[in-house]
Structure 1
Amino acid sequence: MVRIDAPAVSAPLFRAVVLLILLVTGSPGFAGEVRIAVAANFTDTTHALITAFETRTGHRASASFGSTGKLYAQIRNGAPFDVFLAADARRPRLLEKEGRAVAGTRFTYAIGKLALWTPEPHAFEKPEAFLSSTALARVAIANPKTAPYGLAARQALKSMNLWDSLQHRIVRGDSIAQAFQFIASGNAGAGFVALSQIKSWDGQAGTQWLVPQSYYAPLEQQAVLLDRGKTNPAAQAWLDFLKSPEATGIIQGYGYEGLK
């Protein structure tokens, strides 16, 4: 066998060649990218999770936020997402049944909490009396048809026997994020939002009431691997990361609990 030795190169030149190869072929630390459709209530939590995920795995992650119902419709119409983080269990289950999600990958990543909130400090002690007061001109909720937190708000108001009497004062946001903005901007005096949104807000604390769980169906938020992402290692890595103790700590820190 004839061996042909490569010409000797200096150490600095060798390092430069290696660096060039990494730049051309891609660093092994950034092996892939996952595109995630995320329910609007989980926006700030997702940003924190992405930072930790990219640091731990080297993969990149990008997220698009919206109401669960609208994201579900986009996925059905071919939107290029690899993973769906919904604010309910129903839409991920439907996608699984429709063959648009990978069977066996669906799991609960968070259980949300609904809160009545106003930016005004010491605004109320008795939430039902506050909601019934004519001084409260507008009450914001997310659209119950597309947003699970909006559905929970409607259930809570019905539990308090206030749904019918407040109809003329309720303003609906396309998502829980828009409902929160209505309140934060003063376009609504108060409203029902995700507890996690209050924790993430930079303004004054205001007044909040954590709605009893008995007033609405549990906000069991589920994730699922979409058909488009089944061959994407970064997508599977994201789902694995969501189940890790590190991710659980971040999620609970933003006001969620009961991870399964």
Structure 2
Amino acid sequence: MKRPSLLLAGLLLSLNANAGEVQVAVAANFTAPMQRIAAEFEKDSGHKATLMSGATGKFYAQISHGAPFEVFLSADDETPARLEKDGLAVAGSRFTYATGRLVLWSPREGYVDDKGEVLKKGDFKHLAIANPRTAPYGATALQVLDKLGLQPALTPRFVQGENIAQTHSFVVSGNAELGFVALAQVYKDGRLGAGSAWIVPASLHAPIRQDAVLLARGASNPAAAALLAYLRGDKARGIIKSFGYEI
């Protein structure tokens, strides 16, 4: 009979022999949860997910011009649908992996009230938002301001980030006193972290459905298919929920 250590070594060798790698384009708002999911995915499957984060609109342009991504985790549902229509994604592979939440946030305690009245008081010089042309969370922020009737008055105060990660950094650094960011960026271990925030009611904007899709370059990569299946599993879903997303 083989010793347990020899059996384990054989299992690991078999796992490594079948392990693959998948190149993943990740919307900036989903960077932190995806890093955690990728680590668990590698432990559980042996496959490695190499992540690149950025703005959804820029990823669309890069994929259209031949960027070697195999899986795309978008910040909206429209961009993956366009990629399917363009023949750059595998038809039928698209699904919503999370529904995001927008939050108005400041690192200052007590600065942002829980109803967003700070926007009407206007006691600030700069408001950070993501570029609405390339970042869905930026477009959502404009929807909210338009619904509140505040966009014309506040537009001159915008500090615009290339993506939601840069937008968050503008607020953290003090370049803007407050900003519209993804809840996941300020939500830790099932609750809001430091600072003050207004979680924007979903009634003020269209749902932020974030879709995943298998790109044409990943159609024959077992690691890509495995990652998308893993995203639907209980462990990944638990991680996603822990960052404040809805499933």
Q: Would the alpha carbon gap of residues 185 and 99 (structure 1) be closer, same or farther in structure 2, given more than 3 Å must change?
A: same
Number of residue pairs matched by the alignment: 237
Is it true that 1:220 corresponds to 2:209 in the alignment? Answer: yes
Structure 2 CA distance for aligned equivalents of residues 127 and 252 of structure 1: 23
Deviation at 1:134, TM superposition (A): 4.2
Contact between 2:114 and 2:197, CA under 8 Å: does it hold in 1? no
Q: Runs of at least 4 residues of structure 1 off by over 3 A?
A: 126-129
Of residues 22, 28, 41, the one that matches 1:34 is: 22
Give the drift of 1:92.
0.2
CA deviation after TM superposition for structure 1 residue 162, in Å: 0.5
Gapped regions of structure 1 (runs ≥ 5): 1-14
State the alpha-carbon separation in 2 of the partners of residues 34 and 118 from structure 1. Answer: 36
Partner residue of 1:175?
163
Matched, 1:80 2:65: no
Provide the rounded CA distance (Å) in 2 between the counterparts of 1:111 and 1:226. Answer: 21
Give 1:224 shift.
0.3
Query: What's the CA shift string for 1:202-223, capped at 9, x where partnerless?
Result: x961110100101111000000
| Residue of structure 1 equivalent to 2:3 | none
What pairs up with 1:1-260 in 2 under 5 angstroms? 27-28=16-17, 31-125=19-113, 127-200=115-188, 205-257=194-246, 259=247
Contact 1:96 1:102 survives alignment (8 Å): yes
Secondary structure class of the residue paired with 1:51: helix
SS in structure 1 of the partner of residue 150 of structure 2: coil
Q: Which one-letter code corresponds to 1:171 in the other structure?
A: V
Alpha-carbon shift at residue 26 of structure 1 (Å): 8.7
What SS class does the counterpart of residue 223 from structure 2 fall into? helix
C-alpha displacement at 1:27, in angstroms? 2.5
Unmatched segments (≥5 aa) in structure 2: 1-5
Task: Give the whole-Å Cα distance in 1 for the aligned partners of 2:117 and 2:64.
Answer: 43
Residues 215 and 134 of structure 1: CA distance in aligned 2, closer, same or farther (over 3 Å): closer
Compute the displacement of 1:131 (Å): 1.6
Which is worse superposed, 191-200 or 144-153?
Answer: 191-200
Q: What is the identity, as a one-letter code, of the residue corresponding to 1:36?
A: V
| Matched letter for residue 223 of structure 2 | A
* 223 and 117 in structure 1: CA distance in 2 versus 1, 3 angstrom threshold: same
Q: Which has the larger radius of gyration?
A: 1
Contact kept, 8 Å, 1:44 with 1:200, in 2: the verdict is no
Question: SS of 2:209's equivalent?
Answer: strand
If the length of structure 1 is used for normalisation, what is the TM-score?
Answer: 0.86
CA distance in 2 between counterparts of 1:233 and 1:41 reads 26
User: What are the superposed Cα offsets for residues 80-112 of structure 1, whole Å, 9 maximum, x if unpaired?
Assistant: 000000000000000000100000000000000
SS at match of 1:188: coil
Output one character per residue of 1:92-138: Cα deviation in whole Å (capped at 9) or x when no partner.
00000010000000000000000000000011436543123343000
- CA distance 1:159–1:143, change in 2 (3 Å): same
- Mapped contact 2:114–2:198 kept (Cα < 8 A): no
